[in-house]
Amino acid sequence: MKIRPRSAIQIRTAALIAAAIFGIAPIYASAGQGSQAQNPPAQNQPAQNPPPDLKSPGFQEFSDRVQKYVQLHKSVEGTIPKLKATNEPELIVAHQKILARKIKAARAHAERGDIFTPAAKEAFLKAIFSEFQGPQAPHAKATMKQGAPLKKVHLHVNEIYPESIPYTSVPPTMLQNLPKLPEEVAYRAVSSDLVLLDVKANLVVDYIPGVIPVEAMNGQ
């Protein structure tokens, strides 16, 4: 008996019947459809900014200058009596002021940009822009908004940070994209400025003005 080849319609009909009886998903494809069925087109994904390069020349220069500052800090700190463990805030503040005064004298000619050099500033700008443009942006903005009652603040390098001016901690996700710091210093967000603060002397080491987007401080 001569067997006639099945048409495409017959094959499709048989597959549908099998699916109805046995609960099997029909497997068939017409010409030009096979590759599309097996490899559906990928959904359009939002473009992701590449993570900042922590080994970039700008960040390296910044880290080198931070280390030099910390060496100066330790050298100055070694010339004054150590603060013994105490719960009296007056003694802590007095020790802090002595340390700050001596560091100020040791770097009397310090200016903005000594630590945040032009190359370093460019690297920080890229890192901060990436932080407020990526998927983590809502969390970063929420963190920044916690300290947002500030208006324009005028800071001065090598001066004690004013007690009356609050600051905001830098979001953890941003810290991951910035050079790590020794324990003597820390990043702080003040209004739209990024500040490098000597936490033991409460001294403004350096800062970059206007680097944090205004909308981030407003929580937009």
Quickly state the pLDDT bin for 166 (edges 50, 70, 90): confident
Checking if the pLDDT of 75 tops 80, the result is yes
Quickly state the pLDDT bin for 17 (edges 50, 70, 90): very low
Residue with tokens 């710091």: 181
For residues 166 and 31, the model is more confident at 166
CA end-to-end span of the chain, whole Å? Answer: 78
Nearest to 187 by CA among 62, 122, 199: 199
pLDDT of residue 76: 97
What is the pTM for the complete model shown? 0.70
- Give the three-class secondary structure for 90: helix
Where is average pLDDT lowest: 76-85, 116-125, 146-155, 157-166?
146-155
Question: Which residues does residue 206 pair with via DSSP β-bridges, in sequence order?
Answer: 196
- Give the three-class secondary structure for 198: strand
Q: Name every residue whose Cβ is closer than 8 Å to that of residue 158 and which is 6 or more positions away in sequence.
A: 103, 104, 107, 108, 110, 203, 204, 205
Quickly state the pLDDT bin for 164 (edges 50, 70, 90): confident
